[in-house]
Amino acid sequence: MIDKIEVVEMGLEHLDDVMIIESLSFKIPWSRSSFIEELVDNKLAFYFAAVSGGRVIGYGGVWKIFDEGHITNIAVHPEFRRCGAASAIMERILYMCNENEIKSLTLEVRKSNIAAQKLYEKYGFKAEGIRKRYYSDNNEDALIMWRHNN
């Protein structure tokens, strides 16, 4: 059983756990220096860590570009998937977007990642386009999903 999940602003102190999750979750993981740049230098970036039992079990990020947001990543440690962590992260991202008057939110997701697509659809995202051969590891297409706030 998982302890309560708390979603907090991600900081450098979370990076050791984040890097483990990143490498377990993505075929082309971000580097530690990429995360440091996002957290320290990118004033458009907002990152959140899902913490349970004193450890990071997931994380997510979004860029705020004028009145639009772009979800950069959401990942959950494989041991903690299907426990509500991704939903908790998504709800925190949506709350931040509402607080910052973001009217539309977008993301790319692998065409084969049905579980992620279902999560995004649960929160009102709809597939509105395709980026052909977006993922360089296998040339897989990405679905471009959007959520519009009226």
The whole-angstrom separation of Cα 64 and Cα 44 is: 5
134 is catalytic: no
Contact between 34 and 54 (Cβ < 8 Å): no
Q: Whose CA is closest to 147, among 47, 61, 68?
A: 68
- Joined together, the tokens standing for residue 53 give 């039992």
Which of 47, 68, 120, 134 is flagged as catalytic? 120
Let me know if 120 is a catalytic residue: yes
Name every residue whose Cβ is closer than 8 Å to that of residue 113 and which is 6 or more positions away in sequence. Answer: none
Distance CA(113)–CA(143), nearest Å, equals 10
Handedness of CA 121, 37, 102, 80 (dihedral sign): positive
Task: From the candidates 22, 108, 121, 123, give the one annotated as an active-site residue.
Answer: 108
Q: Which residues are catalytic?
A: 108, 120
